[in-house]
Amino acid sequence: MKHMVRKLQYKFIAISTLAILIVMTSLVALINQQFYSNAFRDIYDAMDFIARHDGELTNDYGSRKFKINGRMVAELRFQLRYFTVWVGEEDVIDDVNLDHINSVSEEEAEEYTKKVLTFSRERGRLTGNQSSYCYLVSDKDQDKVIVFMDYTKELKNIRDLRRFSIWLSLACLCFFILVVTFLSRRAIEPVIRNMENQKRFITNAGHELKTPLAIISANTEVLEMMEGENEWTRSTMNQVQRLTDLVNKLVTLARLGEQQEEKAAVVDLSACVADTVSDFGPVADRLSITLETSIEPDLRITGVESHVKELLNILCDNAVKYCDEGGKVLVSLASASGRAHGKRITLTVSNSYQDGEHVDLSRFFERFYRQDSSHSNEKAGHGIGLAMAEGFVEELKGKIAVRYRDGMIHFRVDF
């Protein structure tokens, strides 16, 4: 129960964090993109004005752009650093205006111009001597006017905004994670109560059902003693036994994760697997199923031995029960590092199943889930065996997964 609650809590935190991360990332990207677009739109707008007004940024631009008059408009001409180059026929440079920039020489301006003339675009950006420039090529009569504007300051502002917004987002995300972690328990409290009520109901109902089942069984035995065994009493006893097994499994499933009477200890997993497989040998022979094993010796895990054996029984029983006629069952146990205790150990139980491509593997561990083809007397079951197996694996702090490949279903458990 604690493991399931903790898993649910982590999932809630992860989903909430992912949601806020997507929102914040989108918001930061939108703000930065808007600032970036506005900055370069203003730059190219000013360059277009310069190209159409003889290479000068007059006060008319400031009045039109900012809707103000006076000293602020007059100062606008000195806030933007730019230079203009006039190019005549056959790309000959006729004139260069460097009145509004001090860091560029006439030779550098001509070099930038020759580089721009090799480009196919009418506008773009290039890097100069420790500065970055935007350029705009405009046709005027038969000549070309090329305006270069230093946008180093704007580029720094863009980078500062991006850096600040990212750090602010990370700080907000960390704060959000702390808040969600603190409140997650309260958020999933209704789910926890529902889970506890379900467990309590299953446990109580299981105990209540045991008494009438015992009475039915006893009455049937009396009838057999008085009138002899017949198909009706056999059917009744079979159904009583089936219901008794179901009740026991439900109670076991409900109690998984609670304090057990048996204490965890070091379990010889290799011996348990070998014993379990040998028990299913006669069943496999009767069904013409080939049973193959590959068990690495002396592999041990820490857990409750009865639960380990029950887990192995469930997986082997499932493999034999749903194996194709004349198919094979493979049981493999190996350690990832070649060492026994304290390292990852992998148990794989596989069986032939040609119809596996049409099976929804994601639902295998749901309680009471069974494929339609399994609803037969030959393959009777309750649909909770694999759910119990998942519970046992979680109790052992392992992971269980299922996949279908090459005509076989593979159940893999990592301890």
Q: What is the pLDDT along the chain (415 residues), one digit of tens a residue?
A: 566 677 788 888 999 999 999 999 999 999 999 999 988 988 888 888 888 888 887 766 655 554 444 444 455 566 788 999 999 888 899 999 998 888 888 999 999 999 999 988 899 998 877 889 999 999 877 788 999 999 998 899 999 999 999 999 999 999 999 999 888 888 888 877 777 777 677 666 776 777 787 888 888 888 888 888 888 888 888 788 878 877 777 777 666 655 555 577 899 999 999 999 998 888 888 888 999 999 999 999 988 888 898 899 889 988 998 898 889 999 999 987 644 445 689 999 999 988 777 777 877 887 666 554 444 444 544 467 788 888 888 888 889 999 998 889 999 999 8
Distance of CA 59 to the CA centre of its chain: 57
Contact 189, 21 (CB under 8 A): no
Instruction: Assign a CATH topology to domain 190-255.
Output: Helix Hairpins (1.10.287)
Residue with tokens 């100062």: 75
Using CA atoms, how far apart are residues 286 and 269, in angstroms rounded to an integer?
A: 27
- pLDDT at residue 21, as a whole number: 93
Q: How many CA atoms lie within 13 A of 121 on its CB side?
A: 7
Domain 2-156 classification at class level: alpha beta
Distance of CA 97 to the CA centre of its chain: 58
Domain limits, the chain: 2-156, 190-255, 265-414
Helix (H, G, I), strand (E, B) or coil at 257: coil
User: 265-414 architecture in CATH?
Assistant: 2-Layer Sandwich (3.30)
Q: Which residues contact 320 (CB under 8 A, 6 or more apart)?
A: 280, 283, 284, 287, 289, 291, 329, 351
Using CA atoms, how far apart are residues 304 and 252, in angstroms rounded to an integer?
A: 14
Q: For residue 316, give both structure tokens.
A: 């082997």
> Structure pTM?
0.54
Among the residues of 147-292, which ranges form H helices? 152-187, 189-227, 231-255, 269-286
